[in-house]
Each structure stands twice: as structure tokens, then as C-alpha cells.
Structure 1
Amino acid sequence: MLAWLSDVFWDERLWFPKGLGWKDLEDRDGRVYAKPADLWVVLPMALTLMVVRQIFERTLGIRLAALLGVKATKRLRAAPNPTLEAFYCKTTKYPTQSSVESLCKQTGYTQQQVQRWFRRRRNQDRPNLLKKFQEASWRFTFYLLLFVGGLAALIDKPWLYNLEDMWKGFPVLTLLPSQYWYYMVELSFYASLLFSVASDVKRKDFKEQIIHHVATILLISFSWCVNYIRAGTLIMLLHDSADYLLESAKMFNYAGWRNTCNNIFILFAAVFIITRLVIFPFRILYCTIVYPLSMYPPFFCYYFFNALMIVLQCLQIFWAVLIIRMAVRFLTSNEKVEDARSDKEETDDSAGEEEEEEMKNGGVKKNGPVQNGHIPHNHNNSHHKME
């Protein structure tokens, strides 16, 4: 059964146009070609990057944070209480008014004390400012290195300037050492992000991040297997051109450098829109859909590759809407740049004000379930700090 599945999966009719096959990509006459077996190196490289990341965040990340004045958030811990802890872990982190009253009877706490306990307990599970800065500094460093490395690998290549050249000689395109390492490092980095996404800072677009990482890994891996190397390097370079700007904006936001953060974010928004909503769909995607048809009839992997490209483009439109919304709000009101993907932290500084409001209203807010003194979370109306 496994042998049959392997034969079906690697059937040349799926991977290549008619008349071409795996034999055309065998090394000969000093010419080296990309092979599916090369991708196995990604697993140890991804695991290595995860180790390097931990070392980076605990050394250079902390030093950079100290240099910019970023410190770990000090939070009051919730007092140990088995009843409240069981409710928090097994039922909900945001108890309703009736639940608060029931918990008061079980614990002997007042409503204010129960609400304060849940606020502090939720804050214990939230990553502190230093952790957010460390993650952003790692991604900034690696995205910048990827962009510089990709630019160095492509700056002298004719298909960077004339996109039609990316298909000349396909699929018999020689693999260059710079292309090999660009691909392996890029793919390993996204694999490491996928492996660590569960332990990273959670955002509202968690599911979209998973889809993005999976689609990106599939896209890069697939383009490698069918020797879409030239198209793949262009796509990676295009995406790397904006990501490091966003991570640097986050770093300055955590450091409290408001003007620097806002200016970098506006620059990021401009680069993102130009590269992801203009160049990618109207140049790159056009070339991957239209140009190949002038050379060979469409086949399965042609459709599969472009389907992944369209999924990627849909995600980019989703993020562009969030980015444009934040940029417009900033430009029209000169507010601090915020990220609609992030949950606002219930800080200890605001706790006193919330408790005073709770006392005025008899211990709870007037509207809806008790959520630590906050109006129930609404994805459409929340305004949150950039994470």
C-alpha cells in the first residue's frame, strides 16, 4: 500500500508537463539540479534554529531590551485558591455575573475580590513585555538577514529585472549554491516558526498564522521539487522586504519610542501594500499563471502551485485590511499605532480605576458578563497596542 501511494504521489504526470520527468533533473555534465531528497536537511536546520533562537533571546535579546529600556512587566500574582483555579482552568477565564456570585458563596470572597483574582490570574498567563520584545528582536534579526541574503543572491540575476527569464529553460534549470542556501534557510526558518507557534505570543489571527506558515512551507517545498527555483526566490525576496520593518516597529513600540514606532509602521504599511497587493498579484502571480502556458499545457502541479499562491494572496489581503485600518486611524488622529490582532493586557495600573468603577456599580459592570471590569471582548471594536 505504501509503495503504491508513493508511486501515485511521485507520478511524473502530476509533477511535470507531458514529455518531461524526474530523469531530466538528474545531475550530469557538472550541472546540479534541485531534488526532493534535499528537503530532509530542513528538519535538523529548523531544530537548530529553535535552539539558536532561545540563545539569542536570552542573550542579545535581553541586552538589546535593556539598552532600549524594556523591562519585564511586574504583576501581582493571584492568591492560591483551588476553587477559583479549577473554575479558571476547566470552565472559563471570564466568569459571568451569576458565576461570580456562585464563586463568592463557595470561597467567602466578595465580588470585587473574585474579579480581582481572575484579572491577576489572566495576567499571569499573558506574556510580559520583555518576552514580546525578545520574540520581535529575533524575528527582526532573521527577517533582515533573509532579505539581505536574498537580495545578494538575486541582485545579478536577469530574472530579477525581466520576469519572463524565470521560465527560460524550465524545468532544466541549474541550481546555484546561493539559491540552495537561500531556500534551505528560508524554509527552515518558517518550519521553526510553525513548530514554536504554540508557545509564542498568542494573537487573534492565530489560525491565519498557522495557515500562512503551512501554505508558505508547502509553496517553498513544492517549488523546490518541480524546480520553480527562480520563481520561488523572487517570491521569498518580495515577502522578506516588509517583515523586518514590522518587527522593528514592534520593538520600538515596546521600548516606548512612539514617534519612531509610528514612522516605521507607516513605512512598513507602504512597503507591504506595494509588494503584497501590487507587485505580487499583478507581476509575480501573473507570471506564474500566464507565462508557463506559452511553453507547455497546464498540468496538476501548475494548478496546485498557483492555488497555494492564491491562498497566500487571500491571507495578505486579510492582513492588509488590518494594516490599512491602523494606518488610517494613526494618520487621521495621530494616535499611537495599535494592532487589532492583539489582546489588551489588564494591567495592575488600571486595576484601581476598574475596581472603583466596580464599586460604583455594585461590584460589576452594568453590561454583560463580568470580564475583569471590561466590556466583553469584541473583535470588531477592540483597539489594542501593537504586539
Structure 2
Amino acid sequence: MSKGGKRSSKKSAASKRTAASKKMAQTSVRPQPSQGRANLELFGTSLAVLILALLLGGLVVSDPTRGTATHAWEHARTVLAGWHAPIPVSAQTWKAWMHTMHRFTSACFFLPGARDATVAGALWQSFSALWSYELDKYERSPYDVCFAVTWGLVLLVVRTVLMRVLLLPLAQVLVRRPNGAPRDVKSVERFRRKVHRFAEQGWILILYAMSLVLVVAVARRQPFWLWKPEQLWLQYPRTTMDALTKAVYLWEASNYIHQVFVINLEERRSDFWQMLTHHIVTLFLIGGSYMCCFHPVGIVVLLLMDPADVCLSTAKLLKYMGWQTLCDIMFGIFMIVWVITRHIAYLFVWWTCYKDAPALIRFSDRLDVVSGHALTPMSYIVFLVLLAILQAILLVWFGMIVNVAVRVLTQKGAIDSRSDDSDE
């Protein structure tokens, strides 16, 4: 090769290095998607905190036992009288406004719909009422939506606090680091993703373990058993319920409301739309079954959903910690639990909805939500279709689970098929 050829090759190599350095500089200037997600999460949590603070402030100010609203009206009347100006709101109107505000804000934090007005007053009374076995303690209320949405915001705030204070620092310690010091950007980014996903799975494990305990506590009070499926439909419509059943049912709605927010804050996964559809369908099932007094069926379905989620989150945590053998064992347990609860038992529940409901309950001509008798031919079909859609989504996920199982059997180890990183 001639000297000119060598110089030209050196020039081309130098130009490539220059172009690569410029590209790296441009890339470093761009905001990273993870940072944008973190900013979005911080903004959403701050907005939730602001809304909760306003609701708590309204609850305190409008509390008739404190008399804060009355003192405020009296003070405003005195000040305006000094200016020789009439107060624009009468005492009666102001009292009516404060009564409405207190009823609304109380329903946001305490169970609405108590048949005995003294139940929904003090915090301790509301908490102690949860353990009462009186089946006619509470009834449905239009303010139940306020309770579900408010506690969805509370869960969003609790998640952010736990992620930053406990779960992310814990993940930094427990997540297995790559061999050697990670010097390249890709290794550092991969480790950062594993740390963040470990924290996310830690929160999911906490959430669904708590949900499973609460749903089991409610299910123990139900007369339904596998050999007595007709108990789901006898005495329909049950318009009243005990405090714990109502609290857990509305809390489950809060859980999925908060997850609709969270799924848009996390990094997009390959099954984002399936997951979003699952949450929305579940919310429709929870809300519709509650409104139409199908909540005994809802309790059974919730009981079937939670065990597999607990097992899956545990398997993922073991995976991120580098304990592959324990991860594979837990994944095998997860598969067994999934098939039994989400396919076999779930289809049994769907069948009893299809067969026993029209046999034991007389169809109504119109949807009468007030009386609770909402089983019409249309609501019956919609209910079955939503349950079938949920099962279809579960079957899609089961296909992903089978792919992971094949990897385990071929000694490749379980991986998260939802991840956008093939190394995870």
C-alpha cells in the first residue's frame, strides 16, 4: 500500500472517530426516556398530593363538630360589616354548602353508604366497623366512586414514596451486578433498568399480597363453595353488605385505578396494550358487578386473580437477584397456580354465571340500579362478554408463560417476556 493510501485510511479513521464522538455528544445532550418518565411520575404524584391536601382541608374546614366553617362565616360577616358591605351568602346557604362539602370529603376517605349515620363519623368507628359481621351494615352509594378514586390517588402517592425511600435503595443492594466494573453505557443502563424493575416488582408484590390477604378475609364470610355454586345467585339482589366486603371491593377498584396511572408512568413493555385493556376491563367488571349487585361473583374472581400475581412477582425478584434456580422453581409454582386459578377455576365461575344465573334469577325488563335488580338480558350478555375478554387476555399471557417455560426446560432460564431488553 502506498503512503497516500495510508494517509487516506488514517484520515478516514479519524473522520469516523470524529463523527462517532459528535454522535455520542449529541446523544448525551438528549434527555433520556427514563428521566422523562421520572419527571412525569413526580408531576403526577405532586398533583395527587395537591388534590388529597385540598380534600383533607375541605374535610377539616367543613367538619360541623369543629365549627371552623361557622367561625369563618362570622369573621367574614364582621369584616364586611366594618366596610358597610353586606355578606353575599346567608348563614343558611353557607351551612348547606359546608354540609355538602363535608358529605363529599367524608365519602372520599371513609366508607359511604352506612345505614347507621353514627358509623361514618369518627376514624376509629369506621375502622372498627370493618370487623363487624353485620351483613346489613352498608349499602351502595353514589359517593362510592369518590372513595375509590381518592384511595387510588393515595396508592399512587404511597407507591412513589416507597419506591424512592425503600424499594429503590433496597434494589441497589439486592440486584445482581454484572461481572466486573460496568464501563460501557449499555451495561450501566441495563443495570439501572434491573434496579428500577426490581423496585416495581417489589411494589406489586406488596400490593397483591395485601390484596390477597384482604380478599381471603372477605371470601371466608361468603357462603359460596365449589360444590355450592348456586350460593352466588340465591337471595339476589343483595343490596347490603358488611363493612369489610364493601371496603375491600372498593379498594380493589382503587388498586386498578392507580395501576392505570402507573402503567403510563413506567417504561413501555411489549404487552402494554394487553395490560391496559386488562385493567380497563377489570375496572368495568368491578364497577358493573358492584352496581348490579353481582359482587359475590366479583369476590370469587378477585380471589382467583391474586395468587398468581404474588408468585410471579416473587419469581421476578429472584431473577433480578441472580438466584436463577429458585426463580425457576418459583416460576414452576406460578405456572401451576396460574392454570388452576385463572383457567380451570375461572372457567368454572364463568360457567356458573352462564348456567345458574338465568336459572335462579328472573330476568328484569329494565336495568333497575336503585332496587339492585339489574339482571336484564343485555346486562347478562355484557357481563359474560367482559368475563370472556378477560379470559382471552389471560390466554394471551399464558402463551408468553409457555414460551418462558420452554426456555427453562432448555436450560436457558426464565426471563421476563414482557421486557423490552432481551438480556432480562
Q: Please state which band the TM-score falls in when normalised by the shorter chain.
A: 0.5 to 0.7
Alignment partners' CA distance in 1, 2:398 and 2:356? 27
Quote the residue 1:37 is aligned against: 143
Q: CA RMSD in A?
A: 2.7
Is 1:58 the counterpart of 2:136? The answer is: no
Deviation at residue 173 of structure 1 after TM alignment = 4.2
Does the 8 Å CA contact 1:143/1:244 hold for their aligned counterparts?
yes
Is 1:68 the counterpart of 2:171? The answer is: no
Measured against aligned partners, the alpha-carbon deviations of 1:141-185 in whole angstroms (never above 9, x if no partner) come to 110110111111112422144221011111134211111111121
Aligned residue for 1:61, secondary structure, equals helix
Does the 8 Å CA contact 1:203/1:342 hold for their aligned counterparts?
yes
Does the 8 Å CA contact 1:133/1:251 hold for their aligned counterparts?
yes
Measured against aligned partners, the alpha-carbon deviations of 1:270-299 in whole angstroms (never above 9, x if no partner) come to 111111111101x11011111111122342
More relative contact order in 1 or in 2 (CA 8 Å, sep 6+)? 1
Aligned residue for 1:159, secondary structure, equals coil
State the AA in 2 paired with 1:177.
A
Aligned residue for 2:163, secondary structure, equals helix
State the AA in 2 paired with 1:337.
A
**Residues 57 and 70 of structure 1: CA distance in aligned 2, closer, same or farther (over 3 Å):** farther
Quote the residue 2:61 is aligned against: none
Does the 8 Å CA contact 1:36/1:224 hold for their aligned counterparts?
no
Aligned residue for 2:138, secondary structure, equals coil
Quote the residue 1:255 is aligned against: 321
**Residues 147 and 273 of structure 1: CA distance in aligned 2, closer, same or farther (over 3 Å):** same
Quote the residue 2:96 is aligned against: none
Alignment size in residue pairs? 278
Is 1:312 the counterpart of 2:393? The answer is: no
Is 1:225 the counterpart of 2:291? The answer is: yes
Measured against aligned partners, the alpha-carbon deviations of 1:66-85 in whole angstroms (never above 9, x if no partner) come to 553456996756xxxxxxxx
Identity of aligned residues (%): 26
List alignment gaps of at least 5 residues for structure 2: 1-112, 117-134, 364-375
Quote the residue 1:18 is aligned against: none
State the AA in 2 paired with 1:216.
T
Q: Select the residue among 149, 152, 158 that pairs with 1:46.
A: 152
**Residues 144 and 385 of structure 1: CA distance in aligned 2, closer, same or farther (over 3 Å):** farther
**Residues 30 and 181 of structure 1: CA distance in aligned 2, closer, same or farther (over 3 Å):** closer
Is 1:299 the counterpart of 2:377? The answer is: yes
Deviation at residue 224 of structure 1 after TM alignment = 0.8
Does the 8 Å CA contact 2:208/2:306 hold for their aligned counterparts?
yes
Aligned residue for 1:314, secondary structure, equals helix
Quote the residue 2:38 is aligned against: none
Aligned residue for 2:416, secondary structure, equals coil
TM-score for the superposition, normalised by structure 2: 0.61
Is 1:328 the counterpart of 2:394? The answer is: no
- Paired residues for 1:366-381 under 5 Å: none
Measured against aligned partners, the alpha-carbon deviations of 1:182-236 in whole angstroms (never above 9, x if no partner) come to 1121111111110121221321111111101100111111111111111111111
Does the 8 Å CA contact 2:222/2:296 hold for their aligned counterparts?
no
Does the 8 Å CA contact 2:215/2:248 hold for their aligned counterparts?
yes
State the AA in 2 paired with 1:197.
I
Structure 1 residue ranges (4+ consecutive) displaced by more than 3 angstroms after TM superposition:
25-32, 69-77, 123-127
Does the 8 Å CA contact 2:211/2:252 hold for their aligned counterparts?
yes
**Residues 164 and 273 of structure 1: CA distance in aligned 2, closer, same or farther (over 3 Å):** same
- Paired residues for 1:1-387 under 5 Å: 32-66=138-172, 68-70=174-176, 76=184, 128-161=193-226, 162-281=228-347, 283-294=348-359, 295-297=361-363, 298-331=376-409, 333-344=410-421, 384-385=422-423
**Residues 41 and 233 of structure 1: CA distance in aligned 2, closer, same or farther (over 3 Å):** same
Alignment partners' CA distance in 2, 1:385 and 1:177? 47
Alignment partners' CA distance in 2, 1:385 and 1:184? 39
**Residues 301 and 26 of structure 1: CA distance in aligned 2, closer, same or farther (over 3 Å):** farther
TM-score for the superposition, normalised by structure 1: 0.66
- In terms of mean alpha carbon deviation, does 167-176 or 59-68 score higher? 59-68
**Residues 183 and 74 of structure 1: CA distance in aligned 2, closer, same or farther (over 3 Å):** farther
Measured against aligned partners, the alpha-carbon deviations of 1:43-82 in whole angstroms (never above 9, x if no partner) come to 11111111100111122213532553456996756xxxxx
Does the 8 Å CA contact 1:70/1:130 hold for their aligned counterparts?
no
Does the 8 Å CA contact 1:36/1:225 hold for their aligned counterparts?
no
Alignment partners' CA distance in 2, 1:169 and 1:277? 28
Quote the residue 1:99 is aligned against: none
List alignment gaps of at least 5 residues for structure 1: 1-24, 78-118, 345-383
**Residues 65 and 219 of structure 1: CA distance in aligned 2, closer, same or farther (over 3 Å):** same
Alignment partners' CA distance in 2, 1:338 and 1:227? 41
Alignment partners' CA distance in 1, 2:267 and 2:182? 18
- In terms of mean alpha carbon deviation, does 151-160 or 47-56 score higher? 151-160
